[in-house]
């Protein structure tokens, strides 16, 4: 049993990550965090900041009894395919993704990655939107 989460260093990504930690804790299972690099060579400062943030998360989750496996996938750059492939590899029980809040018109069109994950996932998908307070400002 495993929970898989796609992570980006955004408000939505952090909210999805928090929900994934809680889901893994609730299920008493492991958590696999999948990070797909957007750029072929990301900025060193951005990588360091992301790595520190994920290390803090892993330590915090492990204190709650959740084992965390962080996978940074740099060779491939298709977020949806990467997440689905990892979910299949670990026989995931659930995939967690963070979603942006959208306008009424924007709700007609789901983001392409989210849509592909929902349609192609080998397991249930938990889609999490950030709190309104987190996105204000």
Q: Is residue 20 part of a domain?
A: yes
For residue 109, what pLDDT band results from cuts at 50, 70 and 90? low
- Single pTM value for the model: 0.84
The verdict on residue 113 lying in a domain is: yes
Is residue 35 included in any domain, yes or no?
A: yes
**Cα–Cα distance for residue pair 22/36, rounded to 1 Å:** 22
**Token duo for residue 83:** 């997440």
State the residue range of the domain holding 38: 2-132
DSSP assignment of the chain equals -EEEEE--SSHHHHHHHHHHHHHHHHHT-EEEEEEE-SSSS--HHHHHHHHHHHHHHHHHHHHTT--EEEEEE-S---HHHHHHHHHHHTT-SEEEEE-----TTGGGS--HHHHHHHHH-SS-EEEEPPPHHHH--
Distances (CA, A) of 106 to 63, 109, 112: 39, 6, 12
Q: How many domains does the chain have?
A: 1
d(CA 114, CA 101): 13
> Quick check: is 137 in a domain?
no
Write out pLDDT tens, residues 9-64: 888 988 999 999 999 999 999 999 998 876 566 677 877 888 888 888 889 889 98
- Give domain status of residue 120, yes or no: yes
- Answer with the residue of higher pLDDT: 2 or 136: 2
82: domain CATH number is: 3.40.50.620
Q: What is the mean pLDDT of the chain?
A: 84
């Amino acid at each position: 049993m495993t929970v898989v989460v796609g992570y980006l260093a955004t408000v939505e990504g952090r909210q999805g990550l928090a929900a994934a930690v809680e889901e893994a804790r609730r299920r008493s299972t492991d958590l696999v965090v999948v990070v797909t690099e957007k750029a072929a060579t990301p900025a060193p400062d951005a990588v360091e900041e992301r790595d520190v943030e994920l290390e803090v998360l892993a330590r915090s989750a492990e204190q709650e009894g959740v084992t965390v496996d962080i996978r940074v996938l740099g060779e491939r750059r298709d977020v949806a395919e990467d997440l689905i492939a990892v979910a299949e590899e670990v026989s995931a029980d659930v995939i967690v993704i963070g979603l942006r809040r959208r306008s009424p018109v924007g709700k007609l069109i789901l983001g392409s990655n989210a849509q592909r994950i929902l349609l192609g996932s080998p397991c249930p998908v938990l889609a999490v939107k950030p709190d309104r307070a987190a996105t204000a400002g």
